[in-house]
Amino acid sequence: MTMTPKAPCDALPETHFSHFAAEDMPQLQTLLTTAADIFGTVQEASQIPAELATVEKLQQLSRYAIGVQKTNDGQIVAWCTVFPTTISLMHRFLDGAISERSLFDQTTAGDVGAVYVMSVYIFPELRGVVSPERLLKNTVGPFLGLPAPIFYRGVTEQGARLGALLQKKLDRRGYQILRCE
């Protein structure tokens, strides 16, 4: 995706947050291709695959599983993916007993003991405009009313920093944030 500014005064578009919905489906293949390239899900069998079946299952696990940041004309420029799972699966993942893919495959609809932060991505053109912290907070927001720990695996340096920032902010409010090493 390339965004070309029309003039210096409107170089950076305004954006807003929403959860992934039916009207976002036409953009899905671009998002999946980008995710596969960025996170290396094609080469790494232990990761959750970036494919339509994954999106469908995420939507079955929770309608709040995918948060998106859009420009005012509806173009998705960032996303955050989370899903609820069980405490048992969370501990097995954090202990290294199961992979990310196994965590996802073994999670079923109705599991709500813990929340896994799967990915956060902002297209390069909008980095510095879209706040990754706000995107993550908006996406996990519907789960914050649950007595469920939030956990993540910081695959990239930026992901680890974002997770640490979330941990710092939410720990003060009594939420448990755990990182898989």
Averaged in consecutive runs of 10 residues, what is the pLDDT profile of the chain (181 residues)? 38 76 82 74 74 90 92 88 94 92 95 89 82 86 83 72 70 53 53
Tell me what pLDDT residue 43 has: 66
Q: 148 by DSSP, 3-state: which?
A: coil
- Answer yes or no: are the C-beta atoms of 16 and 70 closer than 8 Å: yes
Instruction: Assess contact for 150 and 176: CB atoms under 8 A.
Output: yes
Report the pLDDT value the prediction gives residue 3, as an integer from 0 to 100: 42
Concatenating the DSSP letter of every residue in 75-141 gives -EEEEEEEEEE-HHHHHHHHTTSS-HHHHHHH--TT--SEEEEEEEEE-GGGBTTB-HHHHHHHHHG
Do 115 and 83 meet the contact criterion of CB atoms below 8 Å apart?
yes
- Give the DSSP letter string of 26-42: GGHHHHHHHHHHHHTTT
Give the residue carrying structure tokens 């053109």.
Answer: 125
Q: pLDDT value at position 28?
A: 80
> Quick count: other Cβ atoms within 10 Å of Cβ 174?
7
What is the three-class DSSP state of 21? Answer: coil
List CB contacts of 127: < 8 A, sequence separation 6 or more: none
| Structural domains of the chain, ranges and CATH numbers in brackets | 12-179 (3.40.630.30)
Q: Which residue has the tokens 């991505």?
A: 121
Q: Supply the pLDDT for residue 161.
A: 73
Assess contact for 83 and 116: CB atoms under 8 A.
yes
Q: Would you state the structure tokens that stand for residue 75, as one six-digit string? A: 């173009």
pLDDT at 157: 74
Looking at residue 179, its pLDDT comes to: 56
Question: Which of 159, 154, 117 has the alpha carbon at shortest distance from 138?
Answer: 117
> pTM for the whole thing?
0.80
